[in-house]
Chains A and B, each alone.
Chain A
Amino acid sequence: MDINATLFGQAIWFGVFIWITMKYVWPPLQKAIADRQALIADGLAAGERGKHELELAGKRSADSLREAKAKSSEIIAAAEKRALLVIEEAKQAAKVEADKVVASAQAEIAQQVEHARAGLRDRVADLAVAGAERILKREVDAKGHAEMLAALKQEL
């Protein structure tokens, strides 16, 4: 075991290698590792956030679906009501129209009856006069009789 100047050479080598490691090996690697850790942590956080957002979106879509369903059933109910109303109105209108038609027809009938009656009244008077002329076969005061007959006509 001989200790000699090799000691100094080895100490210098040792120092040089420590210096290389301290300056060029450890800091860049440490930085790379720290950066990677940050990257991974960020990625995990982003994934978590994405999952959360997906959950929220699912909830939101379910909500809007339910809302739309409620709204559409409401609309259908309103439409049905409206349809019933329209039918009812149409029925009403038809009834009114029918009544009107019936009324006018009855009025016309009444008018015609009146007309016919007036005609008949005239003919009956004439027939009565003619009959009386034939029965009496005499000159009669046509004027006086006419007055009497008119009064008679009024009584009919």
Chain B
Amino acid sequence: MASGEALTSSGYIVHHLTNLKVGEGFWTFHLDTLLVSGIIGLIAFLGMARIARKATSGVPGAIQSFVEIVLTFIDQQVKDTYHGRSPLVTPMAVTIFIWVFLMNAMDLIPVDFLPLILGTVGVHYFKAVPTTDPNLTFAMSLTVFATMLIMGVKVKGVGGFLHEVFCVPFGAKLAPLNLLFRIIEDIAKPISLSLRLFGNMYAGEMVFILIALLGVWQLPLALPWALFHILIITLQAFVFMMLTIVYLSMASESHG
């Protein structure tokens, strides 16, 4: 439909799920993921920075009020869960929620729109939803993981951190077992964080593509799925943010 080769159903699906790539082997870059996520992020965060720079403590305008409501909502979540004082946690949660929400929202653009438009200028593969790319979700979850480790060492000190790694939960005598448990626990965190988001968005996109295959019947189906998907979009962004806050609070409190 977007190009001549994709006439079968599976061809159509594969076509829609192929990234726009440059490079070879590991040094491949998914240009669509990088560009879409980057442009969305730049618009959102530079726009918010602009609003914040002009923010007044008097009567706020409509846009400022909206941004304030969203940010204070996120800040409240952080305050409820994360009891330390860190200048990083709230901005990180804000970034995750807004960025993931907007990238997920790309899912609501009909699946053939962008490939069709870009196909006319010679771009034949384009995956419009960056969160269906595991590279993005892993990049985020690994950044969160690294922040967790750094925060843990910073709050508890190297000694405290190592003590927690080797002596919790079974005491110093079972240090190897404790280490094993800790490694499993810590590996599970970023993987579950990234695969949850990736899986939800990938499946949602897949359903949109399957609906798009139904010809005229896609019309009564695409709308309910899109409406339902709005819920998933928001929920996944919220879950990613919430789990990040929880992980960071666990990392900065003793007896994780």
Chain A residues proximal to chain B, CB less than 8 Å: 1-11, 13-18, 20-22, 24-33, 35-36, 39
Contacts and interface: CB of A to CB of B under 8 A. Distances in A.
B58 A36 contact: yes
Given A14-B143, A26-B90, A32-B55, A21 B48 contact: yes
B139 A14 contact: yes
B46 interface: yes
Contact of A24 (B53, B130, B135): B53
Query: Mostly helix, strand, loop or mixed at chain B's interface?
Result: helix
6 contacts: A5-B28, A7-B138, A13-B34, A22-B92, A24-B49, A36-B57
Contact of A29 (B27, B38, B68): B68
Interface of B: 23, 25-30, 33-34, 37-38, 41, 45-46, 48-49, 51-53, 55-58, 60, 64, 67-68, 71-72, 75, 87-88, 90-92, 94-95, 99, 130, 133-136, 138-140, 142-143
Contact of B139 (A10, A18, A28, A30): A10
Nearest to B87: A22
A32 B56 contact: yes
Interface centre among A15, A24, A25 (most CB of B within 10 A): A25
Contacts of B142: 7, 11
Contacts of A24: 49, 52-53
Given A5-B23, A13-B38, A21 B28 contact: no
Contacts of B71: 25-26, 29
B168 to A, nearest CB: 29
Interface centre among B49, B67, B130 (most CB of A within 10 A): B49
Contacts of B26: 4-5
A145 B118 CA distance: 183
Contact of A26 (B28, B58, B94, B136): B94
Nearest to B136: A10
A5 B133 CA distance: 12
Contacts of A3: 134-135, 138
A33 B29 contact: no
Contact of B29 (A4, A28, A39): A4
Given A13-B37, A18-B91, A28 B28 contact: no
A9 to B, nearest CB: 5
A39 B94 contact: no
A20 B90 contact: no
Contacts of B99: 14, 17
A36 B57 CA distance: 5
A74 B95 CA distance: 80
B94 A25 contact: yes
B140 A21 contact: no
A16 B41 CA distance: 9
B52 A29 contact: yes
A14 B56 CA distance: 28
B72 to A, nearest CB: 7
A26 B135 contact: no
